[in-house]
Amino acid sequence: MKFFLCLVLISMAAWVLCDNIDKDAQIQSLVNEAADPEGNFHYAFETSNGIQAQEAGNAQGATGSFNYISPEGEHISLSYTADEEGYHPVGDHLPTSPPIPAEILRSLEYIRAHPPANYQEKK
């Protein structure tokens, strides 16, 4: 499962970079520690065109990150965890949900302060 996740992430990074690929880029560093009997693994690499990736984990989950320059010249940096709860990416370039409008917040506060007569809060 972890191998498949690694393969998917590397494939995604390769797909994102395919339009801006430096065909002469060389691997500058590579660490690949295959899974030990307990399932612990680690890999990291860096290329001459600035791509960096790393991941470490075990049977319970993994953490990692990758960095590269987008075709538009933007520095992309993403870190993530993957565990029994799913894949959790973090990066400034990722979309975020808009803030809740003030009117909605006020409405929710009013409802909380004035519950319906037949409403019983669960404890």
Per-residue pLDDT tens for 39-76? 999 999 999 988 999 999 998 999 999 999 888 888 99
What is the rounded distance in angstroms from the CA atom of residue 56 to the CA atom of residue 58?
A: 7
Supply the pLDDT for residue 13. 57
Q: For residues 5 and 20, is the Cβ–Cβ distance under 8 A?
A: no
The model carries a pTM of 0.60
Comparing 7 with 72, the larger pLDDT belongs to: 72
Task: With cut-offs at 50, 70 and 90, classify the pLDDT of residue 8.
Answer: low
Pairing type for strands 41-47 and 61-69 reads unpaired
Task: With cut-offs at 50, 70 and 90, classify the pLDDT of residue 117.
Answer: confident
Task: With cut-offs at 50, 70 and 90, classify the pLDDT of residue 84.
Answer: very high
Quick one: how many helices (H) and strands (E) in the chain? 2, 6
Task: Give, as one character, the DSSP assignment of residue 95.
Answer: -
What is the rounded distance in angstroms from the CA atom of residue 66 to the CA atom of residue 105?
A: 37
Three-state DSSP at 66 gives strand
